[in-house]
Structure 1
């Protein structure tokens, strides 16, 4: 199985899921110090599991590199991408990697006499702002590009459907990394402009990874657009997500009036078909909140002496103007 973007957060989780499912993995990513460190860790898992890991460093925009890598692969999972907020601050790079890179992958696959299937990660965000719409969002719900990231995802979906490649498209819900503790002030301000009533469906990263690992061999999934969310127990609001962050930091109750009223491009999802085919759901939002609280324990302890002042200052900085 070929996996692009193999050493990103979702890429690593997917590689681990593939190896545990008994697949050999050909891992593609940029040659960086961090990626080499992650490749070494993944090699240990592959060795213990009796699977082969073939690491190939290069640029996803290089069609020759991709064409050689795809040879003798049964399936391709294409995670390599530029993500927000970089997509918005560097739109030309985002288009070159996200759309151009996907085009290279499609060309490389189509050059094979028997093209391997492509499993492509799209996003629930392609459906646009949903606060005033009726949930849940479905694969048949119209798409609406509202920024560089979503326009790129929609362009890739269109290319894939028009190609000769057997495909599965997976629109992924909200899957925050509890280990990501570095957040800019601009991002925090953006999060507090969103209405606290905005709906979102959480899905654990490992559940997403299991879904991708299952899709490489699920023939019934071919030609389908599947919605990857955590299920009914993971249907929350934006307020729930931000309260989990406040709890993890030990900052108490987050006031409703701290938020704005903007609609955001998330919603609850109809995941019935995806779960029936891929059997991936397992994590709950409560699990994420507990893990976030555990990882934030050192920060929470450090903030405790001046908690009230920190809370006041934090809310003053992020409150919508």
Structure 2
């Protein structure tokens, strides 16, 4: 049993991570802003209000922990609109986390939730490996790339997870514009598998090759944007020709595994299973 601090622990992904860690019998500290909704946290998870940009708050939260899962961040589109805030929270906040671990829990593992957006917009059809150079082309991606460098150069026991687009198996209204081109290669990841990777990162045996991992869906999730949209629209009986795509390529591609799934065993929901789960949710809504 370990004591694990989860920053952003009251958020949508943070709650799932906290619940899974608690189910694995870890003691979990859910750290988030005092304004966050901490209601309904499962047994084994303690609410810990605090500010990621406060050295005192973070030091107190990290005192004596065995691991830190760092999820808290300003996300798009806010991160691309409020540049200074994103820098303060995403980058400066990561430095505060690293410093707190060094001071209060130097043997703790740091699991950092990053993004495939650090690669920018891929210019070719090759699989993207973790050795590919950073090429961020928006502020959010730049803050993630800067934060990664803080983590990997900290001299800590760390794991960086570059998470692809997350597909949630519940019905959501289609976006105003899909964030990719129709012929663009995409390899999303099931929400539960992203959680699997984050949770596994806390205790997994890692090698130098698996300290930075592309977290993506695997072979069954490899497709083009138009295939993904056609499957989605087919379930809600909408003509795929009505789909609107953004005008520029998105931060998506196909990703090299490089032993990441062997180390973390996170790919447990195939794309066909995701479609079944999504169809079940749509059927449930239709019956209400």
Normalising by structure 2, what TM-score? 0.89
Q: Once the 2 structures are TM-superposed, how far is the Cα of residue 160 of structure 1 from its aligned partner?
A: 1.2
1:1-321 → structure 2 map (5 Å cutoff)? 1-32=4-35, 35-37=37-39, 40=40, 42-43=41-42, 46=43, 52-112=44-104, 114-130=106-122, 132-179=123-170, 181=172, 188-189=176-177, 191=178, 194-221=180-207, 224-254=211-241, 259=245, 262-296=248-282
Unaligned runs of 5+ in 2: none
**CA contact under 8 A between 1:118 and 1:167: conserved in structure 2?**
yes
**CA contact under 8 A between 1:234 and 1:284: conserved in structure 2?**
yes
Q: Once the 2 structures are TM-superposed, how far is the Cα of residue 70 of structure 1 from its aligned partner?
A: 0.6
Bigger proportion of residues as helix: 1
Unaligned runs of 5+ in 1: 47-51, 303-321
Query: What SS class does the counterpart of residue 206 from structure 2 fall into?
Result: helix
Aligned length, in residue pairs: 284
Q: Once the 2 structures are TM-superposed, how far is the Cα of residue 59 of structure 1 from its aligned partner?
A: 1.2
Computing the radius of gyration over CA atoms, which structure comes out larger, 1 or 2?
1
Q: Once the 2 structures are TM-superposed, how far is the Cα of residue 62 of structure 1 from its aligned partner?
A: 0.9
**Counterpart Cα distance in 2 of 1:277 and 1:161:** 18
**CA contact under 8 A between 2:38 and 2:47: conserved in structure 1?**
no
Structure 1 stretches of at least 4 aligned residues deviating more than 6 Å after TM superposition: 298-302
**Counterpart Cα distance in 2 of 1:247 and 1:90:** 37
